[in-house]
């Protein structure tokens, strides 16, 4: 099964992440951790949790980047440098190199919905899949010695013991800005596909040839404030203000 | 990439082992000599030891057998399968040489092929990773194969000299392989230095159209599995120095010593020189392999400012 | 090959218990999943009016918060010297007996010698009640170092405030301008709201020296220089006036714009409102040309002009003063842009957008309503421009007036509590005069008796100050004295310094609750530590002789307590999020909530509120014991249900009455807590449609508020653009009004108490040399940390294990600095050595870092070499509680001169490259930590499938 299933899979379940509204709050990071540490597979361990070299396994992390345009809007006294918070978890690639490199078949892509998973009972913890993933979406759990990755909360999205509205990934349910959306990207009529089409959803590192299922919505274009100054009414200074005021009062 | 000791030892040892096995498989050493019998044993030990060492970095080594199952897609799996398959002719050859002082052509050639394919598979584990651009080149398998050839001929030379056997062919082979391997390696390095990064922070974030992208803050400020595994960085100055050391120890010194062996034949001095050549080459290879990992930049570092 | 089988439908947990989150004051509803008696998962409660199902990082990390090894596990009595962290565990009986003895003695001898100050707790209604019954004048919560500027300016201007007492109309606003907010108390609602408005294509402008978090997603970022927002706001006012983009009708109806101000310089009446015999403010009626009471039916008031009253006194409508002031060219964008550090066109553009959206994109909701003057309106007219502001404005010494300016701006465009504007959250609005006056003067307290009234409130003039005949402060923090006359929340940041100095007097017992005063909530942290450790040379006793402290975790402060009362975690106790306190209402609904023990404590800990009730009973305080001296309440749960503040009004508004069918007012219901729990631990009642907007003047809302018990009679609000109360203090400063301000305070009061909001330079900026300290240094709250209490959380601490000093690229280049370099950052008070990172997204003069990440080694059950302690740092070491000495040697507190708000963000610094180091400086000796901590965590491994 390390071979990829028929490509593309009939369903392509994944996330759409909206960079226009992500404020970098890390809510999805921690929600992911708490859901998955007691859920699918081994716990997400933390080494030296109260010590100097603390580190742990996370399936979703938020980076932040500064984007420095040349000659952008002068918002302050400097060019408009932007800060963009950037969530990243497994993109459930169509051509997932992490799957094909796996020597044991532990890594696989589900034929029905395209979710990329690790069967931890088979995983030998060789780490090769993490090397193969250009996105850094796989993390070896140092306590269990097996590879962990985003499961797309497979134990939520199909879970009949929870209410239907809640059958979405933990990170999606918790995101306070609604920057994370879950759905079927193979279905052009799904909400996520429509969003991707309308907002110009993009692939990360398309040059790696992985064909990610997850899409990122770029920040929306922004209109400089200074542009609004041009259209403002000129009432030639303060003169006549009180006369105008009197006129207004008469109309009340 | 983090240069894990177990993997460096593994690739170096198995390269030497398969090289030696190939030299033996080609019948370049007299099977009647004790040194050849020892050579068979050493080849198997290097290969076996290398494989064992490679399991050391596994999170669950007790399941290592599972790694044989995915030969249809995984170079690691293929390597495992090939290693095992190759053991068959190698063992037959070794058996024939050790117990019957005989060289068997068919198992010998099968062993050569197996060794070559196994080394190729090993190299392809790295070369197939698009995420590590420096590795993702046909030069990688070429280097691995040529280095295995060089190591094998040097070891063969040592055993031949030690057994008082025929050395010139092996000496010439050594020099040829060393020359070829280091030419390939220098080309590999040039390739690495000159390549345009396939992926950049701009392509990694898709934000290139807005401007230049620079990491502001890591997701978790301490190191994590990803940064320790893929984020290893060696200073340029350092790397250049080490690259020189590896070339000198792994190529030039052994080549000069081999010339010495050529001159002194199967004498005690020749054996000593050959031994020194092997040792120097091994040190050079360990350095080369360390750099092979340490210098390679993983695409994920585009997300980590590295 | 068959595909790996995955268990898809495993039940999440055995049981879900719904309660309220506590990792910040947002107070979201949470569903706590329990499995095998352990917490399996915490998610947001979808029905909850605050968070609607979402949860932030801290909320989701509740598991690690609850099981943190830093939890205290028993009452403790100090055995080693203060700060050493050496304690002896004692029983609760012993602890309570000791506390009662210490407190009882003080109460009899001199109750003011007990100072009770609480941190960001959410039970101020109980703690203040307790302090009042105890009878000490020295009580306050954390508002003084937090955001009293925001609260005071809001209440005094519009009868409500941003903070957590109002919110933008997220569903309708078309232009949202946010000043100085990194996270705020309304964290999840703000995030939900920003997302909503961005989806609708509304414009979101963030004014902030730093562009992270919310500012990062703003459509427009205005990177002002810290402390200059007042200039920006007043320039916008100038532009709007010039462009005639003001809502005259709204001003006449709802503000004091037409009220007549007496123009008699040199008299005690100057600048006060002209009033009739009943005290009603007068307006000038232009048809009959007479002064008549405001809101006289049919009167057409003058907004401009100069008039004489029948008695000959010259008067002028306050709006004339306002227009004269702000139309002056000194407020024009071109006059102030450089000082703010932004382009003139940005100011003009923002003003034009505000005017355009407010008036050209006005919205209307077809809903007839009646105003408090009996006039019927066919619809709610909305000016869909909204604002929000927090500590970026308020943590400056000019923050009160800046916040007032922002409220004035909102009133001028008619955008308060209208569709699309800023909206009040009940029980607000509430006019200034409906708030109590402060109590604490000598005649208000005495041996073994309760305080005559509540501690905190608003003085309406200097006569309400808590000072003695000589003008000396009555309170330990000098609240409501000439130093900070309108310090409505007290000055928590001055307590330790004043107690140590014995100025105005020493205290015997400092009683603290949930405030890490030995670390991140103090200015001058090292100095504060020394003060806590200082001994009297003669007696050998500590200068602050006794400290009782309640914390739930081993914070830095714990080591400085003599007696430690360990609290439960938020999942182990009853709590009450009450309308009498810091409510969680939303603009559309009145809400309150509870917490209840969803897991049982496994340690010798008790909920602090129950402990406080117990202490109250042991001390025999009225309100806590019956006439026979028996405790009135079994515990806090019992108090929540049975306590009545006024007849029928208790801590919780829901499910009152014997049947549980009464809302707001009603008899106690013994079943109330169960009803709350069944309802998800909260109660919410929708405001009637007709009462949803213009609450300050909406008859239906006022009736609703009376019915709910917010007040006993309608309390409409008239917006106070011109503040008569502030003018009264100026008159005192001019010596024209009794009590007259002490001479040394006069200059400050004259400058800061202008009845119309004005900008003045932040005090520290004025007191230090620009050349010597050319840059600003500020902190921001990280979204994934709550002050000091995230570091003991194994998951959260991995996000912010240490902090860097973010230095703008220009400053880096000037000083040859690159990432990870060490620098000295120096203020007038001290210096710190820390590691930097370059940043391109901040105002070019502004250096910043994350707040409260630095920890003291050994605290919080962390390894003493944890990055928090070795590389993390606090800016607090650079911030002094006093301003640099003036020529006469006097040192003022580093606070807003009106409210006493701690001026954290006035800090000025210089930066120099330092030798590389190993640890941030100052570095403190580690506090002893004897906590057992695991080397590895595999939380939930037993459930692995
Ligand atoms: N440089 C700088 N300093 C600042 C600020 C700034 O912006 N910059 N901000 C200031 C502001 S606005 C504030 S509000 C203060 C906040 O400062 P503090 O009020 O000191 O806040 P915390 O650090 O949260 O400390 C509160 C204490 O409560 C304890 N605690 C947590 N949970 C419980 C519980 O359930 N029960 C009990 N009894 N205790 C508990 C914690 O362990 C901790 O010791 O910091 C101020 N300090
Ligand atoms: N996650 C999290 N949430 C919290 C807290 C926490 O510790 N963590 N603390 C809670 C508490 S006690 C409080 S008081 C609130 C405070 O909530 P906020 O007011 O949002 O908190 P601060 O971090 O003080 O944010 C101040 C913002 O103002 C900016 N600023 C500084 N100076 C100026 C200025 O002169 N002008 C302008 N326009 N902006 C300026 C800073 O860059 C920063 O972004 O948050 C509460 N919520
Ligand atoms: S993101 Fe990485 S781990 Fe996920 S499918 Fe793609 S390559 Fe594999
Ligand atoms: S670590 Fe596990 S999942 Fe990854 S390649 Fe190795 S065996 Fe496969
Ligand atoms: S989908 Fe689930 S596993 Fe994946 S990042 Fe979100 S919460 Fe984590
Ligand atoms: S929860 Fe949402 S807003 Fe917060 S970091 Fe994750 S994606 Fe961004
Ligand atoms: S915002 Fe976060 S920490 Fe605050 S109450 Fe809500 S979930 Fe808890
Ligand atoms: Mo605060």
Residues from chain A that touch B224, judged by Cβ atoms under 8 A, are 55-56, 58, 139
What are the residues facing C417 on neighbouring strands? none
pLDDT for residue C4: 77
Distance from CA of C551 to the nearest CA of B (A): 28
Q: Do C195 and A177 touch (CB under 8 A)?
A: yes
Class of domain C765-913: mainly beta
| Confidence at C874, pLDDT banded by 50, 70, 90 | very high
Q: Looking at residue C275, what DSSP letter applies?
A: B
Cα C341–chain centre separation: 28
- Domain ranges within chain C, ordered by starting residue: 76-149+457-566, 159-426, 722-755, 765-913
The closest alpha carbon to C181, from C421, C399, C389, C386, belongs to: C389
The domain that holds B239 is classified in CATH as: 1.20.1630.10
d(CA B104, CA B25): 8
* pLDDT tens figures, C529-558: 999 999 998 999 999 999 999 999 999 999
C216 touching B (Cβ < 8 Å): no
d(CA C913, CA B29): 66
The closest alpha carbon to B77, from B125, B110, B117, B112, belongs to: B125
Exposure string for C282-304, b = 16+ CB within 10 A, e = fewer: bbbbbeeeebbebbbeebebbbb
Q: Is the pLDDT of residue C445 over 60?
A: yes
Nearest-by-Cβ selection for B216 from C801, C802, C839: C839
* Three-class SS state of C191: helix
- How are beta strands C908-913 and C775-780 bridged, if at all? antiparallel
**Contact criterion met (CB below 8 Å) for B270 and B258:** no
CB hemisphere CA count around C370 (13 angstroms): 8
Query: A168 preceded by cis ω (within 30°)?
Result: no
Closest residue in B to C819 (Cα–Cα)? B216
Which of B66, B73, B77, B217 should be substituted to probe chain C, the one whose Cβ sees the most C Cβ atoms within 10 Å?
A: B217
* Three-class SS state of C612: helix
Query: C922 preceded by cis ω (within 30°)?
Result: yes
Q: Which residue has the tokens 């620079």?
A: B214
Q: Tally Cβ neighbours within 10 Å of residue B172.
A: 14
**Stretch (H or E) spanning C187:** helix C187-199
Nearest-by-Cβ selection for C43 from A80, A173, A220: A173
Domain assignment of residue A57, yes or no: yes
For residues B121-133, give the mean pLDDT.
97
* CATH assignment, C76-149+457-566: 3.40.50.740
Q: Which residue has the tokens 């995230």?
A: C790
Residue nearest atom 5 in ligand 7 by C-alpha distance: C27
pTM of the model: 0.96
d(CA C536, CA C213): 47
Ligand 4 pocket, residue A128 CB under 6 Å: yes
Cα C893–chain centre separation: 19
Residues from chain B that touch C840, judged by Cβ atoms under 8 A, are 214
Residues from chain A that touch C300, judged by Cβ atoms under 8 A, are 249-250, 252
Ligand 7 pocket, residue C790 CB under 6 Å: no
For C699-715, what is the HEC assignment? HHHHHHHHHHCCCCCCC
Nearest-by-Cβ selection for A205 from B69, B75, B203: B203
Q: Looking at residue C661, what DSSP letter applies?
A: -
pLDDT for residue C268: 96
Annotate chain B with DSSP letters as a single string: ----HHHHHHHHHHHHHHHHHHHHHTT-S-TTSHHHHHHHHHHHHHHHHHHHHHHTT-S-GGGGGGGGTTTTT-HHHHHHHHHHHHHHHHHHHHHHHHHH----HHHHHHHHHHHHHHHHHHHHHHHT-TTBTTT-STHHHHHHHHHHHHHHHHHHHHHHHHTT---HHHHHHHHHHHHHHHHHHHHHHHHHHHPPPSS-HHHHHT-GGGSEEEEEE-SSSS--HHHHHH-----HHHHHHHHHHHHIIIIIHHHHHHHHHHHHTTSHHHHHHHHHHHHHHHHHHHHHHHHHHHTPPBGGGGGTT-
Q: Is the pLDDT of residue C1 over 50?
A: no
User: Mean of the per-residue pLDDT values for chain C?
Assistant: 96
Domain assignment of residue A230, yes or no: no
Domain assignment of residue A60, yes or no: yes
| Confidence at C3, pLDDT banded by 50, 70, 90 | low
For residues B281-296, give the mean pLDDT.
96
Nearest-by-Cβ selection for C798 from B216, B217, B222: B222
Ligand 4 centroid, distance to B126 Cα (angstroms): 15
The domain that holds A178 is classified in CATH as: 3.30.70.20
Ligand 7 pocket, residue C494 CB under 6 Å: no
Closest residue in C to B219 (Cα–Cα)? C799
% residues pLDDT > 90 (chain A): 81
| Confidence at B234, pLDDT banded by 50, 70, 90 | confident
Annotate C700-764 with DSSP letters as a single string: HHHHHHHHHTS-SS-----B-SS-HHHHHHHHHHTT-SSSPPPHHHHHHHHHH--SS------HH
Distance from CA of A169 to the nearest CA of B (A): 20
Q: Is the pLDDT of residue C484 over 70?
A: yes
pLDDT for residue C885: 87
Q: Do A124 and B299 touch (CB under 8 A)?
A: no
Domains of chain B: total: 1
d(CA C257, CA C884): 39
Query: Which range of residues forms the domain containing residue B295?
Result: 5-304
Q: How far is CA C162 from CA B275, C180, C758, C786, in A?
A: 81, 12, 19, 20
C286 touching A (Cβ < 8 Å): yes
* Structure tokens that stand for C872 in this block: 């993390």
**Stretch (H or E) spanning C41:** strand C38-44
Domains of chain A: total: 1
Q: Do C248 and A252 touch (CB under 8 A)?
A: yes
Closest atom of ligand 3 to A149 CA is 3
pLDDT for residue A76: 43
Pocket of ligand 5 (CB under 6 A): A 32, 35-36, 59-60, 89, 150-153, 169-171
Fold observed for domain C159-426: Dimethylsulfoxide Reductase; domain 2 (3.40.228)
A188 touching C (Cβ < 8 Å): no
d(CA C469, CA C481): 12
* pLDDT tens figures, C769-798: 999 999 999 999 999 999 998 999 999 999
| Confidence at C214, pLDDT banded by 50, 70, 90 | very high
Domain assignment of residue A162, yes or no: yes
Q: Looking at residue C359, what DSSP letter applies?
A: I
Q: Do C799 and B219 touch (CB under 8 A)?
A: yes
* pLDDT tens figures, C122-165: 789 999 999 999 999 999 999 889 999 999 999 999 999 998 89
Tell me, what's the ipTM? 0.96
* pLDDT tens figures, C164-193: 899 999 999 999 999 999 999 999 999 999
Residues from chain B that touch C867, judged by Cβ atoms under 8 A, are 221-222
| Confidence at A4, pLDDT banded by 50, 70, 90 | confident
For residues C43-51, give the mean pLDDT.
97
Closest residue in A to C7 (Cα–Cα)? A155
Ligand 7 pocket, residue C20 CB under 6 Å: no
C217 touching B (Cβ < 8 Å): no
Neighbours of C, requiring at least 3 CB pairs below 8 Å, are A, B
**Contact criterion met (CB below 8 Å) for C75 and C212:** no
% residues pLDDT > 70 (chain B): 100
Domain assignment of residue A50, yes or no: yes
pLDDT for residue C575: 96
Q: Looking at residue C195, what DSSP letter applies?
A: H
pLDDT for residue C163: 87
C57 touching A (Cβ < 8 Å): yes
């Amino acid at each position: 099964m390390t071979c990829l299933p028929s490509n593309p899979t009939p369903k392509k379940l994944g996330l759409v992440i909206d960079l226009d509204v992500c404020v970098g709050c890390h809510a999805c990071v921690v929600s992911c951790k708490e859901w998955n540490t007691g859920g699918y597979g081994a716990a997400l361990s933390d080494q030296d949790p109260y010590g100097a070299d603390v580190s742990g396994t996370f399936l979703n992390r938020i980076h932040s980047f500064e984007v420095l345009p040349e000659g952008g809007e002068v918002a302050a006294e400097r060019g408009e440098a932007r800060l963009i918070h950037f969530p990243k978890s497994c993109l459930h690639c169509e051509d997932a190199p992490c799957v094909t490199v796996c020597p044991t078949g532990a890594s696989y892509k589900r034929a029905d919905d395209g979710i990329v998973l690790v069967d931890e009972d088979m995983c030998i913890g060789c780490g090769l899949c993490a090397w193969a993933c250009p996105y850094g979406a796989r993390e070896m759990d140092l306590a269990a010695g097996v590879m962990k990755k985003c499961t797309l909360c497979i134990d939520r999205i199909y879970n009949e013991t929870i209410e239907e509205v809640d059958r979405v990934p933990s990170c999606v349910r918790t995101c306070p800005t609604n920057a994370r959306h879950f759905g079927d990207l193979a279905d052009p009529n799904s909400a996520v596909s429509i969003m991707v089409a309308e907002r110009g959803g993009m692939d990360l590192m398309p040059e790696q040839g992985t064909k990610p299922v997850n899409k990122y919505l770029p920040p929306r274009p922004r209109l400089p404030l200074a542009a609004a100054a041009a259209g403002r009414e000129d009432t030639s200074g303060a003169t006549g203000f009180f006369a105008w005021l009197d006129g207004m009062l008469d109309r009340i | 990439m983090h240069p894990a000791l177990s993997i460096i030892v593994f690739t170096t040892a198995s390269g030497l082992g398969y090289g030696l096995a190939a030299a033996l498989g080609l019948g370049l050493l007299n099977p009647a000599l004790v040194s050849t019998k020892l050579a068979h044993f050493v080849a198997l030990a290097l290969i076996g030891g290398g494989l064992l060492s490679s399991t050391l970095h596994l999170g669950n080594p007790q399941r290592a057998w599972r790694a044989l199952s995915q030969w249809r897609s995984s170079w690691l799996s293929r390597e495992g399968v090939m290693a095992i398959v190759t053991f068959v002719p190698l063992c037959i050859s070794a058996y024939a040489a050790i117990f019957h002082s005989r060289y068997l052509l068919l198992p010998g050639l099968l062993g050569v092929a197996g060794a070559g394919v196994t080394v190729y598979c090993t190299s392809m584990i790295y070369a197939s990773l698009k995420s590590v651009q420096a590795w993702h080149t046909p030069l990688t398998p070429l280097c691995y194969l040529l280095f295995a050839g060089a190591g094998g001929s040097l070891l063969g030379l040592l055993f031949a000299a030690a057994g008082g056997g025929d050395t010139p062919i092996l000496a010439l082979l050594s020099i040829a392989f060393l020359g070829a391997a280091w030419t390939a390696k220098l080309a590999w390095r040039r390739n690495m230095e000159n390549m345009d990064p396939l992926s950049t922070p701009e392509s990694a974030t898709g934000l290139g159209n807005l401007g230049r992208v620079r990491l502001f803050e890591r997701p978790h400020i301490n190191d994590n599995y990803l940064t320790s595994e893929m984020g290893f960085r060696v200073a340029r100055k350092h790397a250049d120095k080490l690259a020189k050391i590896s070339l000198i120890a792994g190529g030039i010194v052994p080549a000069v010593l081999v010339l010495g062996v050529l001159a002194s034949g199967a004498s005690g001095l020749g054996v000593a020189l050959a031994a020194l050549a092997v040792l120097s080459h091994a040190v050079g290879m360990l350095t080369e392999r360390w750099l092979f990992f340490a210098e390679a930049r993983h695409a994920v570092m585009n997300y980590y400012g590295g | 090959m068959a595909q790996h089988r995955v268990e898809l439908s495993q039940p999440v947990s055995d049981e879900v218990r719904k309660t309220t989150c506590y990792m910040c004051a947002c107070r979201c509803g949470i569903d706590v999943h329990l499995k095998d008696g352990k917490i399996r998962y915490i998610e947001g409660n979808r029905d909850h009016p605050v968070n609607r199902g979402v949860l932030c990082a801290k909320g989701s990390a509740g598991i690690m918060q609850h099981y943190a090894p830093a939890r205290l596990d028993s009452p403790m009595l100090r055995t080693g010297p203060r700060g050493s962290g050496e304690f002896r565990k004692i029983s609760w009986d012993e602890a309570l007996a000791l506390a009662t003895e210490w407190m009882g003695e003080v109460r009899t001898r001199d109750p003011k010698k007990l100072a009770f100050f609480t941190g960001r707790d959410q039970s101020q209604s109980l703690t203040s009640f307790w302090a009042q019954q105890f009878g000490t004048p020295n009580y306050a919560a954390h508002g003084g170092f937090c955001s009293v500027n925001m609260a005071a300016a809001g209440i005094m201007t519009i009868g409500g405030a941003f903070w957590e007492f109002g919110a933008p109309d997220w569903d309708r606003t078309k232009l949202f301008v946010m000043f100085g907010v990194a996270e705020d108390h309304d964290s999840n609602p703000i995030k939900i709201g920003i997302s909503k408005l961005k989806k609708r294509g509304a414009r979101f402008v963030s004014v902030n020296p730093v562009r992270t978090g919310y500012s990062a997603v703003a459509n427009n970022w205005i990177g002002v220089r810290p402390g200059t927002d007042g200039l920006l706001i007043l320039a916008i006012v100038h532009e709007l006036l010039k462009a005639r983009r003001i809502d005259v009708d709204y001003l006449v109806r709802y503000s004091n714009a037409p009220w007549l101000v007496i123009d008699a310089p040199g008299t005690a009446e100057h600048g006060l409102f002209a009033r009739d015999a009943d005290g009603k403010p007068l307006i000038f009626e232009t048809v009959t040309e007479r002064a008549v009471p405001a809101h006289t039916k049919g009167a057409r008031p003058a907004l401009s002009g100069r008039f004489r009253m029948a008695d000959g006194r010259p008067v002028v409508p306050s709006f004339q003063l306002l227009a004269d002031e702000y139309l002056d060219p000194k407020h024009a964008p071109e006059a102030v842009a450089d000082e703010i550090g932004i382009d003139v066109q940005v100011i003009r553009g923002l003003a034009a957008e505000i005017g355009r959206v407010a008036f050209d994109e006005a919205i209307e909701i077809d809903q007839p309503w009646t105003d408090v003057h009996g006039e019927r309106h066919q619809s709610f007219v909305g000016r869909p421009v909204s604002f929000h502001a927090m500590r970026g404005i308020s943590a400056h010494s000019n923050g009160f007036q800046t916040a007032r300016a922002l409220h004035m701006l909102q009133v001028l465009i008619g955008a308060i509590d209208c569709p699309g504007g800023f909206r009040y959250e009940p029980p607000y609005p509430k006019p200034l005069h409906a708030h109590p006056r402060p109590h604490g003067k000598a005649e208000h307290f005495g041996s073994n008796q309760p305080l005559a009234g509540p501690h905190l409130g608003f003085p309406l003039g200097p006569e309400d100050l808590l000072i003695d005949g000589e003008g000396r402060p009555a309170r330990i923090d000098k609240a409501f004295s000439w130093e900070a006359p309108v310090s409505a929340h007290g000055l928590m940041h001055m307590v330790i310094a004043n107690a140590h100095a014995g100025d105005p007097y020493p205290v015997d017992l400092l009683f603290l609750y949930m405030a890490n005063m030995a670390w991140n909530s103090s200015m001058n942290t090292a100095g504060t530590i020394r003060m806590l450790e200082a001994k009297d040379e003669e007696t050998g006793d500590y200068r602050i002789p006794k400290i009782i402290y309640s914390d739930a975790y081993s914070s830095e402060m714990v080591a400085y307590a003599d007696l430690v009362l360990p609290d439960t975690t938020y999942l182990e106790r009853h709590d009450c999020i009450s309308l009498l306190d810091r409510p969680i209402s939303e603009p559309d609904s009145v809400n309150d909530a509870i917490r209840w023990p969803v897991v049982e404590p496994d340690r010798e800990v008790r909920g602090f509120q129950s402990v406080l009730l117990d202490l109250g009973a042991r001390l025999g305080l009225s309100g806590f014991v019956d006439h026979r001296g028996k405790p009135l309440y079994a515990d806090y749960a019992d108090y929540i249900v049975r306590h009545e503040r006024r007849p029928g009004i208790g801590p919780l508004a829901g499910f009152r009455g014997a049947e549980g069918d009464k809302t707001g007012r009603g008899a106690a219901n013994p079943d109330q807590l169960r009803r709350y729990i069944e309802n998800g631990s909260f109660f919410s009642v929708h405001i009637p449609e007709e009462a949803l907007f213009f609450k300050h003047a909406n008859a239906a809302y006022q009736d609703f508020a009376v019915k709910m018990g917010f007040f006993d009679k309608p309390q409409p609000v008239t917006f106070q653009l011109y503040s008569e109360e502030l003018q009264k203090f100026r008159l005192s400063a001019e010596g024209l009004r009794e009590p007259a301000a002490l001479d040394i305070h006069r200059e400050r009061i004259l400058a800061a108490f202008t009845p119309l909001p004005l900008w003045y330079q932040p005090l520290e900026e004025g007191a230090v040399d620009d050349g010597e300290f050319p840059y600003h240094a500020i902190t921001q709250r990280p979204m994934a940390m709550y002050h000091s209490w995230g570091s003991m959380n194994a998951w959260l601490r991995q996000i912010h294990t240490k902090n860097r000093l973010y230095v703008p690229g220009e400053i880096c280049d000037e000083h040859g600095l690159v990432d990870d370099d060490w620098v000295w950052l120096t203020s007038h008070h001290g210096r710190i050595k820390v590691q930097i990172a370059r940043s391109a997204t901040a105002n070019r003069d502004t250096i910043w870092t994350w707040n409260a990440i630095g920890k003291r080694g050994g605290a919080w059950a962390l390894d003493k070499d944890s990055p928090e302690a070795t590389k993390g740092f606090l800016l607090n070491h650079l911030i002094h509680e006093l301003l640099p000495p003036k020529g006469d040697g006097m040192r003022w507190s580093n606070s807003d001169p009106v409210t006493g708000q701690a001026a954290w963000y006035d800090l000025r610094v210089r930066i120099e490259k330092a030798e590389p180091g190993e640890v941030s400086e100052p570095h403190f000796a580690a506090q002893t930590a004897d906590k057992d901590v695991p080397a590895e965590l595999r939380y939930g491994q037993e459930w692995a499938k």
